[in-house]
Structure 1
Amino acid sequence: MRMRRVWRRGFIEDPIMLDTMLDVRALRTDGDLPMVVEPRDAGVPIQAAASALHALAEQYLPTCGGVLFRGFCIDGDAAFREFAASFGHSLLTYEFGSTPRSKVAQGVYTSTEYPPHQHIPLHNEQSYTRDWPMKIWFYSVQAAPEGGETPIADSRRIFARLPQALRDRFAEKGLMYVRNFGNGLDVPWKQVFNTEDRAEVEAYCRAHRIACEWKDDGELRTRQVCQAIARHPVTGDWVWFNQAHLFHISNLEPDVRETLLDVVGEEDLPRNVYYGDGSPIEEDSLITVRHVLASEKISFPWQNGDVLMLDNMLVAHARAPFKGPRKVVVAMAQAYGVDH
């Protein structure tokens, strides 16, 4: 449908844009995630349209959870950063990250730098912690010639489709994430905490209820008990909100799992997860979770210049394997957490 009134309301003081209109539609015929917003005329700078896009995001994010801004002119990473920051919240740094990525600009990072052949399962950003961003943006600078999609899924639907007994058990017990940094097996702690000062690491951990210990080899082990489900502070919706299926050793290929257990043992695995009381999570439960996640996955090809904005609690995201060059950068904002 044409959104002339929304556009005009957003730019009533900008005569240059008065006659420009936006098209708003659902990308898919069988659901409204994501909604797509496109300018009727080519070459509209995304910063110039920001006021109208803010109004549309405010309208659609609480309901469908994701908006794809497509067909706008974006002049590189700096313009993307300016657009993300224009929503009124300071962009966040990537603290206590679980995957390798590089800083592109203040508040802008590369997407996870895993090898192109690897699939990254659906997850909500930083749902393995007690603090997370409420908003996340993905900017497709260069779409891969083959693959490389960023699949998404409605976390409310995932929660609703999981067996109630499983949901109740996870909610009651919570989850304990155990991480062993460095040793060539995982991201070094100096990179994760953006410091070489052990005292700063310890202070961060105390502030975020993370138990930490320095091992004899100088590396770091952390444990943190976190939520398995969460309630959205605005919509009131319950969502499946954790990364147990990613951190658990069962996420590894059998040969990799066996090798790691032989080399370092369970205690020193780069990452693993237990129930909050330290008891093991049943692999059958995680198989059920992965099945539901797969059944809810929504995938679409990137186009160069696309910006996907998600409510990070309402919508999970992933990454498909790809071939050829690909560049997708990420920004996050509006910190929130269970202790707020």
Structure 2
Amino acid sequence: MPTNSSPFAEAKIPEQKSHGGVIFPAVLTPAAAAAALTAAVKEQRPWLDSLLHKHGAILFRGFDSIATASDFNDVVEAFGYEELPYVGGAAPRTNVVGRVFTANESPPDQKIPFHHEMAQVPKYPTKLFFFCETEPVSGGETPIVPSHVVYERMKEKHPEFVDKLEKHGVIYTRVLGEEDDPSSPIGRGWKSTFMTADKAVAEERAAKLNMKVEWTEDGAKTIMGPIPAIKEDETRQQRKTWFNSMVAAYTGWEDKRNDPKKAVIFGSGEPLPDHIIYDCLRILEEESVAIPWRKGDVLLIDNLAVLHARKPFTPPRRILASLCK
């Protein structure tokens, strides 16, 4: 609990759920009207770290001091987490200021399926920040779901499938154009994916990610894996998490270059069973929490513990993001 003099008050909202007696997500509002979020974070960092570890996600709501991308950048800096460069990710993004980027810029009518950020590469963020600069006219929520809950339900319902995943892992394949394609949710071109226009440098950076690159006439094919699809969370009593982008790849990695059914397979080379992937999607949606964005909201997610997604929306909507090691 925060101290009596804390700048934070814990709040309840209708969308929250309880998993094993733990409310998800935690919601913090200002204890006093003039409370500034950046100063409050600096004052309460150890407590906020423990709260995030317990709940998996924290929504900061009602802090009038956060209105711009620069304000959001100050909040991210106040937490003191090290920045993670966005190397190897699939989403088209634009740097706004400092450590702040746009969230996935794919068209508003497209749903982005559940995933752990950059779970398809070895170096992924442990923390994600989202900030609502412009709230959508309708829709556009960022649904979140505790990963261990998904693992437990899948293990109970599809034990043989989960055993196979734990044994073999998965392989992700993505075909990239040369430049970014903003019409695609996975439209990041190879130049921005590897942050270079030099193919030799791109190959070196891919190798550091244990990623194979095959050059095509108009782009590149990247192959990642076999890579684990289940992780053991050592900081939370060894509990297992559904740490992958399997459903996102199988149901959402589709554009003029990519067939989602070929985007992810078992590490043994076998295709994934269609009906089980769609059952997993149903479980993800059942267990998820989708809180409508309000201007000024800041959402902090433990990427090791929580998957996220995006619902289609009526623009305008501007959500900014920051990734941390």
| TM-score normalised according to structure 1 size | 0.84
Shift of 1:141: 0.8
What residue number does 1:40 align with? 31
CA offsets per residue over residues 294-318 of structure 1, 9 Å max, x none? Answer: 1111111111111010101111111
Question: Which structure 2 residues correspond to residues 15-164 of structure 1 after superposition, within 5 A?
Answer: 21-28=7-14, 30-31=17-18, 32-72=23-63, 73-162=65-154, 163-164=158-159
SS of the residue 2:4 aligns to? helix
Amino-acid identity (%): 28
State the alpha-carbon separation in 1 of the partners of residues 190 and 161 from structure 2. Answer: 33
Are the equivalent residues in 2 in contact too, given 1:95–1:192 (CA < 8 A)?
yes
Gaps of 5+ in 1: 8-20, 335-340
The residue identity in structure 2 corresponding to 1:5 is: N
Distance 2:115 2:44 in 1: 26
1:203-282 correspondence to structure 2 within 5 Å: 203-215=204-216, 217-225=217-225, 226-235=227-236, 236-248=238-250, 250-251=251-252, 272-282=263-273
Indicate if the aligned counterparts of 1:130 and 1:227 stay in contact, CA closer than 8 A: no
- Structure 1 residues 190, 251: closer, same or farther in 2, change over 3 A? closer
**2:174 maps to which residue?**
179
Q: CA, structure 1 residues 152+224, in 2 after alignment: closer, same or farther (shift >3 Å)?
A: same
Letter in 2 for 1:295: E
Q: What letter corresponds to residue 8 of structure 2 in structure 1?
A: L
Query: Contact (CA 8 Å) 1:230, 1:238: kept in 2 or not?
Result: yes
Could you tell me which of 317, 320, 327 is aligned with 2:318? 327
Unpaired runs of at least 5, structure 2: none
Residues 45 and 270 from structure 1, CA distance in 2 versus in 1: closer, same or farther, beyond 3 angstroms?
farther
Deviation at 1:218, TM superposition (A): 4.8
One-letter code aligned to 1:77: A
Q: Whole-Å Cα distance in 2 between the matches of residues 124 and 143 of structure 1? A: 23
Structure number with greater Rg is 1
Structure-2 change in CA distance of 1:57 and 1:282 (3 Å): same
Deviations 1:23-71 (A, max 9, x none): 1134346421111111132242211211244233222212210111111
Deviation at 1:89, TM superposition (A): 2.1
Aligned residues: 308
**Root-mean-square deviation (CA), in Å?**
2.3
Normalising by structure 2, report the TM-score.
Answer: 0.87
Q: Which residues in structure 2 correspond to 1:277-316 (within 5 Å)?
A: 277-316=268-307
Is this contact kept in 2: 1:34–1:68, CA < 8 A?
Answer: yes
Does the CA-based 8 Å contact 1:135-1:310 persist in structure 2? yes
